[in-house]
Amino acid sequence: MTLPLAIDESAYSLVSPSSSSIPNPETPLKLGVLASGSGSNFEAVAAAIKNGQLNAQIQVLIYNNPSAKVVERAAKWNVPAVLLNHRDFSNREELDLQIIQCLQHYSVDWVIMAGWMRIVTPVLINAFLGKIINIHPSLLPSFKGVKAVEQAIDAGVKITGCTVHLVSPEVDSGTILCQAAVPILPYDTAETLHDRIQIQEHRILPPAIALAANLNLK
Ligand code: GRF
């Protein structure tokens, strides 16, 4: 049996546009991050800010799941964390109204949905029009919605990846900012593939935020 070759992640991915072509914003962006789970993308943004790759500050983390690991990451990076548990609200709009209030309280200009597992309503989208960014684990417009990694494996495609895009009322459909391609390998499970996609997510999210800010100025 031939064993699969070790994968060099950088060699096996294609990112567009290249981060070197995206200027860092001149004035610091005030970010609010919405996250529901592990928060590795939150961490990637925080690290990019620390190393100067992204001129920004995370003003607040909003999370909806009391046991989300992202809370520990926020504490580590000294970012205030606010729990807005969707179970405490009778509908999506009420949750979004509370989110808006919190984001405004922390003077947030840009909203980053980094693994926010809730559908946002026009209430939130209109309050931050053109300034909400989402990361999704597929090459949109393929494999929208939940279980995007599994959808790609089931479809038998050989290349998938991740997309950072502006949020519009239709799920996973706004203007695409940045994408990275990731090959699907013969021995991949949803977990192994998602792990490799996440490496690329962490690469493209910070420059995609800078790109959105640049586009917004034009
Ligand atoms: C990422 O794969 C993102 O694309 C999806 O949710 C996941 C969040 O991962 N929307 P993490 O919590 O940032 O580690």
Instruction: Give 25-73 pLDDT, tens digit per residue.
Output: 999 999 999 999 999 999 999 999 999 999 999 999 999 999 999 999 9
What would the pLDDT profile of 89-99 be if each residue is shown by its tens digit? 999 999 999 99
pLDDT at 1: 47
Atom of ligand 1 nearest to the CA of 135: 4
What homologous superfamily is domain 26-217 in, according to CATH?
Formyl transferase, N-terminal domain (3.40.50.170)
Instruction: Give the Å distance between the CA of 39 and the centre of ligand 1.
Output: 7
Atom of ligand 1 nearest to the CA of 35: 12
What would the pLDDT profile of 131-148 be if each residue is shown by its tens digit? 999 999 999 999 999 999
pLDDT at 6: 52
Backbone phi and psi for residue 87, each to the nearest 5 degrees, phi listed first: -70, -15
Q: Is 52 left (phi over 0), alpha (psi -120 to 50) or beta?
A: left
> Residue 5 above 70 pLDDT?
no
Instruction: Give the Å distance between the CA of 2 and the centre of ligand 1.
Output: 33
Instruction: Give the Å distance between the CA of 45 and the centre of ligand 1.
Output: 12
Backbone phi and psi for residue 97, each to the nearest 5 degrees, phi listed first: -60, -40
Distance linking the first and last C-alpha atoms of the chain: 55
Percent over 90 (pLDDT), the chain: 86
What is the residue whose two structure tokens read 């917004």? 216
Residue among 135, 178, 202 to mutate when testing ligand 1 (max atoms within 8 A of CB): 135
d(Cα 185, Cα 166) in Å, to the nearest integer? Answer: 29
> Residue 215 above 80 pLDDT?
yes
Closest by CA to 34, choosing from 57, 65, 56, is 65
pLDDT at 155: 98
What would the pLDDT profile of 110-137 be if each residue is shown by its tens digit? 999 999 999 999 999 999 999 999 999 9
The binding-site residues of ligand 1, defined as CB within 6 angstroms of any ligand atom, are 35, 37-41, 114-115, 135-137, 162, 198, 201
Confidence of residue 172 (pLDDT cuts 50, 70, 90): confident
Closest by CA to 44, choosing from 149, 157, 164, is 164
pLDDT at 94: 97
- Helical pair 190-217 and 148-155, crossing angle rounded to 10 deg: 120
Instruction: Give the Å distance between the CA of 162 and the centre of ligand 1.
Output: 10
Lowest mean pLDDT among 136-145, 182-191, 193-202, 209-218: 209-218
Contact 34, 111 (CB under 8 A): yes
SS3 state of residue 9? coil
CB contact burial 115-149 (16+ within 10 A = b; e otherwise): bbebebbeebbebbeebbbbbbbbbbebbeeeebb
Q: What pTM did the predictor assign?
A: 0.93
pLDDT at 12: 61
Percent over 70 (pLDDT), the chain: 94
> Residue 4 above 90 pLDDT?
no
Contact 29, 59 (CB under 8 A): no
Residues 6+ apart with CB under 8 A from 8: none
List the catalytic residues. 136
> Residue 7 above 60 pLDDT?
no
